[in-house]
Amino acid sequence: MSERRRSPTFPLPLARLAPGRTRDAGEPLRPQRPLREAALDARARATPSGVGLDSEHVRLRMVQRLHALGIRHDGLLRAMQTVPRHAFIDTALAVQAYEDTSLPIGHEQTISKPSVVARMIALLLAGSAARARGGLGKVLEIGTGCGYQCAVLAQLADSVISVERVRALFEKARAQLAPLRLDRVRLVHGDGLRGHPPNAPYDSIVAAAGGEAVPEAWLQQLAIGGRLVAPTAMPGLAGQALVIVDRTTDGFVRQIGEAVTFVPLKSGIG
């Protein structure tokens, strides 16, 4: 009577052979060997430290480029290195997160270039009151967008009120900021053209959208000794420039900074 043979179980273990070599009939199969070598192969194929988007090394390279562009404030550079920019953009664009480029975030809005974010915050920090206190104090941000600049501001401020007129962006920013647990940030769905009077005055005001002029509401909500930075259309020019406004006991002192391009400032709630 012939011996009954069992059906093999699948998948069958495969012996690892040197190129051009065939397995001898008497050589035992050794499933442990491929498993052990697979583990070694997996470690060899692992992403090298510092290459992943969640790595501080990637953000450090971005910060080094900002330093080369003239950003010298140590606290600001630390803040830019701390905040994960890739967490605020669509995954399809994540590979561009730490390049110096603006990227779409939906609803005809963009996330600003890291260099522009850094430059505007550096201008705020250069104000006399900010230098004296060593930080931005109470901040009003006009145009939350995806929440990235808000997260950077929070590293340097006592508190941040950020106003966004587009409901979908407001909700998106809230979701994206939540994992960072920034208890000093408050998001407001409202008309940024009006600022946010309930918490005025503000030591620092920064806008991520440009109008024909700096709204009077923003000026009135700026504390004495405070500084405002906003993109504004320039008469006779096709584009915008950063306008820096300092409020003193005698009134407002204005300076014109470099040319920029921001989305237009709109009124109302979307």
> 7 pLDDT band (50/70/90 cuts)?
very low
pLDDT tens for 19-75 read 444 444 444 434 444 444 444 444 433 333 334 666 678 899 999 999 999 999 999
Average pLDDT over residues 231-256: 92
Whether 95 maps to a domain, the answer reads no
What global pTM score does this model have?
0.79
Residue 235 CA to residue 243 CA, distance in Å, equals: 13
The pair of structure tokens assigned to 89 is 């953009």
Whether 133 maps to a domain, the answer reads yes
Whether 111 maps to a domain, the answer reads yes
Taking alpha carbons only, the member of 217, 233, 226 closest to residue 251 is 226
Report the pLDDT value the prediction gives residue 20, as an integer from 0 to 100: 43
Whether 45 maps to a domain, the answer reads no
Report the pLDDT value the prediction gives residue 5, as an integer from 0 to 100: 44
Q: Indicate the range of 1-5, 51-55, 259-263 predicted with least confidence.
A: 1-5
Taking alpha carbons only, the member of 221, 207, 219 closest to residue 266 is 207
| Torsion (CA) 70, 145, 163, 130 in degrees, nearest 10 | -10
Report the pLDDT value the prediction gives residue 173, as an integer from 0 to 100: 97
CA dihedral over 196, 201, 203, 205, signed as positive or negative? positive
State phi, psi for 16 to the nearest 5 degrees.
Answer: -90, 125
Residue 9 CA to residue 12 CA, distance in Å, equals: 7
What's the full length of the chain, in residues? Answer: 270
The CATH number covering residue 165 comes to 3.40.50.150
State phi, psi for 32 to the nearest 5 degrees.
Answer: -65, -35
Report the pLDDT value the prediction gives residue 52, as an integer from 0 to 100: 61
Q: DSSP label at 155?
A: T
β-bridge mates for residue 247, sequence order: 252
pLDDT tens for 63-88 read 999 999 999 999 999 999 999 999 99
101 or 236: which leads in pLDDT? 101
Whether 183 and 189 have beta carbons less than 8 Å apart is answered as no
Q: Determine the residue type at 160.
A: V
Average pLDDT over residues 247-265: 94
213 or 45: which leads in pLDDT? 213
Among all residues, which ones are annotated catalytic? 112
Do β-strands 222-233 and 240-248 pair in parallel, antiparallel, or remain unpaired? antiparallel
Mean predicted lDDT score pLDDT of the chain? 84
> 108 pLDDT band (50/70/90 cuts)?
confident
Q: Indicate the range of 14-28, 86-100, 157-171 predicted with least confidence.
A: 14-28
CA dihedral over 145, 232, 70, 137, signed as positive or negative? negative
Report the pLDDT value the prediction gives residue 33, as an integer from 0 to 100: 41
Its domain, for residue 182, covers 103-260
Average pLDDT over residues 94-118: 93
Report the pLDDT value the prediction gives residue 220, as an integer from 0 to 100: 98
Q: DSSP label at 83?
A: S
17 or 209: which leads in pLDDT? 209
Average pLDDT over residues 229-233: 96
pLDDT tens for 132-151 read 999 999 999 999 999 999 99
Whether 19 maps to a domain, the answer reads no
For residue 245, the SS3 value is strand
Whether 222 maps to a domain, the answer reads yes
Whether 226 maps to a domain, the answer reads yes
Number of domains into which the chain is organized: 1
In sequence order, what are the residues at sequence separation of 6 or more whose Cβ sits closer than 8 angstroms to the Cβ of residue 181?
none
Q: Is the pLDDT of residue 12 over 70?
A: no
The pair of structure tokens assigned to 73 is 């404030």
Q: Is the pLDDT of residue 10 over 90?
A: no
Whether 82 maps to a domain, the answer reads no
For 190-201, letters b (16+ CB in 10 Å) and e give: ebbbbbbeeebb
